[in-house]
Amino acid sequence: MRHVSVFRLKPECRTQEVIEAVASALRELPRQIPTITGCEVGVKPFAMPPVSPDGHVRFFDLIQIITFASPEDCAGYPATEGHRQFLASSSRYMEEVIGIDYPAE
């Protein structure tokens, strides 16, 4: 199973320091949650605009793609202590978070 989260930070939080802190916290989750079998974190290049020139596409700041061995492991992820700690430390920076879970092929 895959769990994808896409993060858009509040405008005042879109600093290199905050983005790196959130990315670092995301990269730590596999060390804290043993059911995570793979994790990739991507950060939008800092100079990229938040919206496309035509205004049709809103760009987000970070993405995390997590792999789990089973649907049960994926479903249990939000209740883990590591996930709760991540939310407690980073939710104040978030403007919007989009998530999707899907079977890995």
Give the pLDDT confidence of 71-95 residue by residue, as tens digits.
999 999 999 999 999 999 999 999 9
Task: Look at the chain and report how many structural domains it folds into.
Answer: 1
Q: Could you tell me if 13 and 93 are in contact, meaning their C-beta atoms sit under 8 angstroms apart?
A: yes
Token output for 99? 């998530």
Which residues are registered as beta bridge partners of 94? 9
Residue 8 belongs to a domain: yes
> Residue 60 — very low, low, confident or very high, per pLDDT cuts 50/70/90?
very high
Residue 93 belongs to a domain: no
Give the pLDDT confidence of 32-46 residue by residue, as tens digits.
999 999 999 999 987
Residue 98 belongs to a domain: no
Secondary structure class of 14 (helix, strand, coil): coil
Residue 17 belongs to a domain: yes
The pLDDT of residue 4 is 98
CATH number, position 54: 3.30.70.100
* Structural domain span for residue 65: 2-78
Report if pTM > 0.95. Answer: no
Strand (E) or helix (H) holding 102? strand 94-102
Residue 46 belongs to a domain: yes
Residue 10 belongs to a domain: yes
Which residues are registered as beta bridge partners of 50? none
